[in-house]
Every structure is written in C-alpha cells, then in structure tokens.
Amino acid sequence: MVSRRNFLGGAGAVTAAVSAAAVSKVAMAALPEPVIQSKPDTMPPLVPNTGRPYNPVVTLNGWTLPWRMNNGVKEFHLVAEPVVREMAPGFKAHLWGYNGQSPGPTIEVVEGDRVRIFVTNKLGELHSVHWHGQRLPSGMDGVTGLTQPGIPPGKTFVYEFVARRPGTFMYHPHADEMVQMAMGMMGFWITHPKGKHPLIDEVDRDFCFLLNAYDIDPGSYTPKIMTMLDFNLWSWNSRIFPGIDPLVVSHMDKVRIRIGNLTMTNHPIHLHGHEFLVTGTDGGPTPKSTRRYEVTEDIAVGQMRQVEFLADEEGDWAFHCHKSHHTMNAMGHDVPTMIGVDHRGVARQITKLVPDYMVMGERGMKDMTEMEMPLPDNTAAMMTGQGPFGSVGMGGMFSVVKVRKGQKRGDYGDPGWFKHPPGTVAYEFTGELPDPARFKAEGTGSMSPVAKPAQEVEVKVRKPGGGHGGHN
C-alpha cells in the first residue's frame, strides 16, 4: 500500500496509488484513501486508466489528484492541512494547502461526470471549499454560513455534483477566506469535453498554473495574512523564479496554457517569441468571432484565462508577468533609491567603522545579482537565476518556454539551454561609431520664449473645504 507520507511522484506512482487504494482498508470503507505529494517538481500528466478518456494537463510545479470509481461516480479526497512549500531552492514557507502542497492538486474530470469530493479538515478552524465557476446545486457551492455549515476541525464533508460544462476552473476556501487564501489554499480544476467540441481544439501540450502572492519577511516562514497589496513574493503555484520549472514543448506543438489569478491585483502575462490566441475564460471557451491574437493578456483578480499558440519558433522564450516588480523576489518596499548619489565621501567614513561596508544601488540594482552576497536564513535573492550568458536578473513570476526540435511527445524533461545557430546571438560592436544624427530642433534653445512676463507670477492654490467625502 502506498503510504500517505511516502507517496512517490510521477505518473507510475500515481497509478500505483489508485490501484493500492482499491484494496486498502480505507478504500474498502466509504472514504477514499488520501494521496499526498510533497515534491515541488512538475509531475508527469496523469493518464486516466478508469473513467472516460481525456488528454490530461500538466500542472506547473504540481500534480493531478488520483481518483477511484465507485458505481460510476468519480471520487476524490482533499485534505486541508498545514504544509511546507519549497518556494525556491533553499527557501521554504509554512503554508496551508491540500494533500501536502500549496496549491493543492489539480482535479481533472470529463463533462457529464458525476463527481464526489471528500474534504477532510485538518486545520485549526472551520473550512469549506468553493468550486469557482461551476454550475452546481446551491448547497454544494461551499460558502460557509450561506450554503453550508463550516467543516469543523477533524471532520470530513462530502461535495457531490455533475461537471456540467467543459472549461478551466479552480477551487478555494470560502471560510475565513482572507486568511486561508493568504496562506496558500487553492487549486486548479479542469473539466475536459466529453467529445469533439466546436470551440475546443485538440492540443499537443496542455499546461496550467495559479497566480498567488505572499508577504514573508526574510528569515521567517509564515506569510503575513493582513497584507493587502504590498506583497514581496509574487509566485506561480507558490513557486518563485528560479524555482519555477520551464514549460517544455516540441517544435510545432500546439500548446494550451491555462492561468488563474488568486492574488489581489491584475497580472499582464507576457510570452516572448510567439503570439497566442485567447480561447477561453472561466465562463468556458470563447466564441471564435471574439478571439484575438495577443502577446500579453491581462488577468484580473479571480479570473481564468486560456491561451493557445503554435510553438513554431525554436529557442528559450521568457514567459512572465509584465509588472516589473512582480519579477522580483523578497522586495524591500522601504529601500531608498540611490541612483546618481555620490557615496564616496560617506563610504570612506563608514568603512572606518564597518570594513566590509559596500555601496549598492547608485548604478541600479543589477550589480547585486552578480555579487552572490550572503542572505538571511530562509529567503531568496531579489534577482537571481543563471542562464547560459550569466545572471538572468529576474525572480517572482518568471519562467521559460523551451521550444525544441526532437522533444518527444510526453517528454517534459528540461532539455537544457538552447544552442543558437551561428550568427543569431546579439554581440558587441567594436568598430568606430559614427556621430548620431540629430534634428536641428533638438536642444534647449529650440523653444526659447517670445517674451518673458513683466513680473514674477505667484501661483496660489485654493484647497477645497469639507474634507474628502465627495471624492469617488
């Protein structure tokens, strides 16, 4: 029998867990045995061996939850519990999640499946699960106090409904939501079409991940749950670059990426080297007449987006949020800007007292990525990650789409860095530079005043009275 804590990752182990659950003592009872995963790696897709067939997804730095069939019903078991999530190599966070991880495992079903989900609460407070975007009976919607009583600590509740429409969805708490989601409780849900669908194309590779954010001080382990906007760790599936795995595809693969946003701000997700088609939202696949090609798609709070593209350009292509602060780790919001400040006199005085003192930031922050300075315990460098040409100088919501010829179908292993054909890499120019051409109108003298005012004009500002109650 596969142990709850010793479950081995990978498709073979997942299948073994399902088989083992079929004969275990727990499985013989009413409750399916929970499967636990603690590795932060991207697990191979779970190819269904029971129930109706479908083309499985790959969860970035995550996995798909196994199930058992019980009289035609697909049964899952989610365990809400404290977890330890490695957000990047050497940096671990104490979070809340499901089945050993944050986010929890992806649930994959087929349109028309009757689904039964057992949810066991191992937290210290009430819990519930909302099935975001699903059509279901109101009493299965998972809002504590409104549609159900909260799940008490140590108890198990059952949710049961039919997956009525195909699409990209998610699950998350609706009990003490601010705390539980700030602690990392969420997961992906995929409902595959039951047959050929006029708005859903077949793809070669299908990825999914959730956007989430944390505020964890360097040297600490637990997120600050009261933070509203000033997060210092912007993550994909509770991982930060360089801890986020690459999305590996074969040249000329048709690729689908599903993204859900459970942070407190929007994220313009940008792909280099390709245009993609926005083909779906949390409302389901979009009509073909409304689809548009983009290289950046803005995903608002609580929304899902599904994008597709043909991987017809070989290379290593950046894939990231286009809010520049969201591609940084462990940011310090109170760090002053020192660009252009001459520190030399002050630095000489300080080094007399602190010999190892060094000035940073007067030429920008990129130099810090090359210094390999000691960090506080349990944190990650602000900008890090090594590429084939040196430091990438990124963090947070950043990964790489690796497009390779010869990448075998079903192979998601990292192929290493791209070998650029000769003459296709930017290089230093060592010749003589000509003087840049300039317009005659350039310079300070081009807009000289016709006549100066006869006297200095004092600008007076009249402040409105009565407070700020009229502002919207």
Architecture of domain 11-204: Sandwich (2.60)
Nearest-angstrom CA–CA distance, 334 and 76:
45
> Would you list the DSSP string of 316-352?
EEEEEESSGGGG-BS--TTPPP-TT---HHHHHHHHH
The domains of the chain are located at: 11-204, 233-404
432 or 460: which leads in pLDDT: 432
Residue 337: what pLDDT? 62
Nearest-angstrom CA–CA distance, 211 and 398:
11
Which amino acid, residue 326? H
Strand 91-98 vs strand 390-394: parallel, antiparallel, or unpaired?
unpaired
Nearest-angstrom CA–CA distance, 126 and 151:
5
Q: First-to-last CA distance in the chain?
A: 61
Q: What is the pTM of this model?
A: 0.83
Contacts 24+ apart (CB under 8 A), 463-470: none
The per-residue pLDDT for range 341-379, each reduced to its tens digit, is 677 677 777 777 777 666 666 665 665 555 566 777 888
The per-residue pLDDT for range 167-192, each reduced to its tens digit, is 999 999 999 999 999 999 999 999 99
Q: Which helix (H) or strand (E) holds 293?
A: strand 293-294
Distances (CA, A) of 141 to 132, 176, 312, 329: 8, 15, 42, 35
464 or 50: which leads in pLDDT: 50
Contacts 24+ apart (CB under 8 A), 433-442: none
* Beta bridge pairs of residue 387: 390
The per-residue pLDDT for range 207-231, each reduced to its tens digit, is 999 999 999 988 899 999 998 888 8
User: Is the pLDDT at 23 greater than 50, yes or no?
Assistant: no
Beta strands in 21-154 (DSSP E): 58-59, 68-70, 73-88, 91-98, 107-110, 114-121, 130-132
Nearest to 214 by CA among 119, 103, 334: 103
Residues 61, 103: contact at Cβ < 8 Å? no
User: Is the pLDDT at 64 greater than 80, yes or no?
Assistant: yes
Supply the DSSP symbol for 231: -
Instruction: Collapse the DSSP code of 425 into the 3-class scheme (helix H, G, I; strand E, B; otherwise coil) and give the result.
Output: coil
Cβ neighbours around 346 below 10 Å, total: 12
For the purposes of burial, counting CB atoms within 10 Å of the CB of 347, is it exposed (0-12), middle (13-18) or buried (19 or more)? middle
* Torsion sign across C-alpha atoms 411, 108, 187, 210: positive
The per-residue pLDDT for range 272-312, each reduced to its tens digit, is 999 999 999 989 999 999 999 999 999 999 999 999 999 99
User: Is the pLDDT at 335 greater than 70, yes or no?
Assistant: no
The per-residue pLDDT for range 376-420, each reduced to its tens digit, is 788 888 778 889 998 898 999 999 999 999 999 999 999 999 999
User: Is the pLDDT at 133 greater than 50, yes or no?
Assistant: yes
- What six digits make up the tokens of 310? 């043909």
What CATH number does the domain located at 233-404 have? 2.60.40.420
Question: Comparing 11-204 with 233-404, is the CATH topology the same?
Answer: yes
Residue 451: what pLDDT? 65
Residue 26: what pLDDT? 52
How long is the chain? 472
Instruction: Collapse the DSSP code of 18 into the 3-class scheme (helix H, G, I; strand E, B; otherwise coil) and give the result.
Output: helix
Nearest to 130 by CA among 140, 120, 121: 140
> Would you list the DSSP string of 43-69?
PPP---SSSS-----EETT--B---EE
User: Is the pLDDT at 28 greater than 50, yes or no?
Assistant: no
332 or 194: which leads in pLDDT: 194
- What six digits make up the tokens of 462? 């009249």
Nearest to 257 by CA among 284, 280, 226, 290: 280
**Mean pLDDT computed over 135-158:** 98
Average pLDDT, the chain: 87
User: Is the pLDDT at 42 greater than 80, yes or no?
Assistant: yes
